[in-house]
Amino acid sequence: MRAVEILASFPKLSVLVVGDICLDRWCSYDPSASEPSAETGISRLGVVSTEVTPGAGGTVANNLVALGAGRVTVLGVAGDDGFGFELKRALQARGIDSRLMVTAPGWFTFTYTKLLNAATGVEDQPRVDFINTRPLPQAVEWELLKRLGPAIEEHHVILVADQAETDQGGVVTAGVRNLLAELAQRYPEKILWVDSRRRTELFRKVIVKPNREEAQAACRRRFGAVDYQRLRRHVESPLLVVTQGAEEVLLVQEDGVTSAPAQRVERPVDICGAGDSFSAGAALALAVTGAPVEAARFGNLVASITIMKKGTGTASPDEVQAAEEESAQ
């Protein structure tokens, strides 16, 4: 199917993004305003402007909205802090339904603070992350689980963003993984698509999409050697999707391995969020076409656009169609 035909079906789809819904804070500092602190003698970074956007699972949601999905809902956890307020406001400003978000008193809202040099536009200072390293409070996890089942029932596509790089503190707990496996069996007609940075091998019954480094690490943790078909069997997945940057996407199914070519992009501007944009496009396209190769091809089109934009960019339907036409020439 051509991109225009696939895109035409997106407004009919409702999509749920579950997991680590993060706040990205893009802070520009003025190097000329750097002065030593009177108290410590350490030079300050003088921030002169800040932009906030939804990040991690929020980046996936941004891409879904930009592609024209009919309804996009997020289910995650935010603290009752200022960053939680900013996150919910940023989601609402983009037309993302945040009513299912669970507020956890005393919990840090998962936040990335990125420091950009105002003179150069380059992120040249260490990122400041607000993370949780203790387990999600049991009452909060129960509330998540209570909301997850009915939410899946109401949506066609479910994307799981397991982005936390800590052993504890992420939203996608063992309880959430177990319920997702049950719901995948209960609703085989729905697309349940998981992107996990550090825990690919712990999921069951769902589509999993690691990148090459994540897939190889999962194989080595579990088997001591890289074997994608064995990994797919271990997670009992109908489809293992392995992205490989500028190289082809591998599609591992019970009957073998196929591939979808990547879109060649000369000198990408920023690859941050490329996997999120691929997942958003590919999962939607899979719901429309039912064809993994078609879905991966479409996801690659979307990612080829977002990596030419600074930050975690998105792709519009017009841009996707133009990219397809250009690639056909």
160, 19 Cβ separation under 8 angstroms:
yes
CA distance 16 to 154: 9
Read off the tokens for 328: 């056909």
- Describe the crossing of helices 292-306 and 317-328 by its angle, rounded to 10 degrees: 100
pLDDT number for residue 71: 97
CA distance 237 to 215: 14
- Residue environment code for 274-286, b if the CB has 16+ CB neighbours within 10 A, otherwise e: bbbbbbbbbbbbb
pLDDT number for residue 310: 79
281, 299 Cβ separation under 8 angstroms:
yes
Contacts for 281 with CB less than 8 Å, ≥ 6 apart: 63, 67, 298, 299, 301, 302, 303, 315, 320
Taking only the tens place, the pLDDT of each residue in 212-257 is 999 999 999 999 999 999 999 999 999 999 999 888 999 999 999 9
Q: In this structure, which amino acid lies at residue 115?
A: L
C-alpha gyration radius of the chain: 20
- Centroid of chain to Cα 105: 25
pLDDT number for residue 323: 87
What is the tally of structural domains in the chain? 1
Low-confidence ranges of the chain (pLDDT < 50): none
Read off the tokens for 107: 């919990």
Closest CA to 68 of 288, 326, 300, 258: 288
- Residue environment code for 83-108, b if the CB has 16+ CB neighbours within 10 A, otherwise e: bbebbbebbeebebbbebbbebeebb
Q: Could you give the angle at the alpha carbon of 212 between the alpha carbons of 228 and 55, nearest 5°?
A: 125
DSSP 8-state assignment for residue 34: -
CATH code for the domain of 58: 3.40.1190.20
CA distance 193 to 184: 10
Count Cα atoms within 13 angstroms, Cβ side, for 228: 25
pLDDT number for residue 324: 87
pLDDT number for residue 233: 98
**Model pTM?**
0.94
CA distance 155 to 72: 9
279, 238 Cβ separation under 8 angstroms:
no
Q: In this structure, which amino acid lies at residue 273?
A: G
Taking only the tens place, the pLDDT of each residue in 103-151 is 999 999 999 999 999 999 999 999 999 999 999 999 999 999 999 999 9
Which domain range does residue 118 map to?
3-328
Q: Which residues pair with 26 in a beta bridge?
A: 51, 114
pLDDT number for residue 329: 67
Read off the tokens for 226: 């890289």
CA distance 10 to 28: 36
Containing H/E element for 23? strand 21-29
